[in-house]
């Protein structure tokens, strides 16, 4: 009887040690992987906020700049294109993120042209609604940048964890794969030209 208790005790101890060895890294990988869809949702949330502000901004400009219809149309088309590109939190590959980022870059460019048009209309720049919308848009752009940074931080933490020993042994066995990052747009490496 005493021998049986010792054998059972050893088996339970070995089982506990094996459980801790396998469950710990696996659970950590799950925890880190779950942060990525949450952070991705925050990125999408901020881009949606920007998309929601654009119709108000366009309508405000439209009242002052009737002959700038082409620019206004381009902004609304870019908004429509940007909101159609969706990336599932389960498919955060570098390619999928690049497609999403490219659609958002088109909208950013169109917004830049819209704000340049506004510079030609002093009454528009003085309009309280336009100023408020411009401030909200600026704040949203800052929130987008912060959400992208936090997303990238979650991805680097996860990617680093699943590549470290001993978790790398479990990560590949349980299907944990590297996730993609938000990267700077290709034009971001060149400083804009400013002329006076």
Q: How many CA atoms lie within 13 A of 103 on its CB side?
A: 20
Question: According to the model, what pLDDT value does residue 94 have?
Answer: 83
Which residues 6+ apart lie within 8 Å of 158 measured at CB?
Answer: 29, 32, 33, 35, 36, 179
Q: Tell whether omega for the bond before 77 is within 30 degrees of 0, i.e. cis.
A: no
Of the chain, the percentage scoring pLDDT greater than 70 comes to: 86
Q: Which domains does the chain carry?
A: 46-179 (1.20.1440.20)
Residue 192 has pLDDT above 70, yes or no: no
Model pTM score: 0.66
Residues found in the chain: 196
Q: Which residue, chain included where needed, has tokens 């940048």?
A: 145
pLDDT tens profile 110-131? 888 777 777 777 666 666 777 7
Q: What is the mean pLDDT of residues 123-145?
A: 79
Percent of all residues in the chain with a pLDDT value above 90, rounded to a whole number: 4
- Rounded mean pLDDT, 138-167: 88
Give the contacts of 184 (CB within 8 A, at least 6 positions apart): none
* CA distance linking residue 57 with residue 131, whole number of Å: 10
């Amino acid at each position: 009887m005493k021998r049986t208790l010792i054998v059972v005790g050893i088996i339970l101890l070995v089982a506990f040690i094996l459980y801790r060895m396998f469950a710990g890294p696996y659970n950590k990988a799950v925890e880190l992987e779950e942060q990525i869809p949450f952070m991705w949702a925050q990125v999408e949330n901020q881009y949606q906020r920007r998309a929601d502000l654009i119709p108000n901004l366009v309508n405000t400009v439209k009242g002052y700049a009737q002959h700038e219809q082409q620019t206004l149309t381009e902004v609304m088309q870019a908004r429509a294109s940007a909101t159609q590109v969706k990336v599932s939190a389960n498919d955060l590959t570098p390619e999928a993120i690049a497609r999403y980022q490219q659609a958002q870059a088109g909208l950013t460019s169109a917004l830049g042209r819209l704000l340049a048009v506004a510079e030609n209309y002093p009454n528009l720049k003085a309009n309280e609604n336009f100023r408020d919308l411009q401030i909200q848009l600026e704040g949203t752009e800052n929130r987008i940048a912060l959400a992208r940074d936090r997303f990238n931080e979650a991805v680097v933490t996860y990617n680093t964890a699943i590549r470290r020993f001993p978790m790398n042994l479990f990560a590949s066995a349980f299907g944990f794969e590297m996730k993609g990052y938000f990267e700077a747009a290709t034009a971001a490496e060149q400083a804009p030209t400013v002329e006076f």
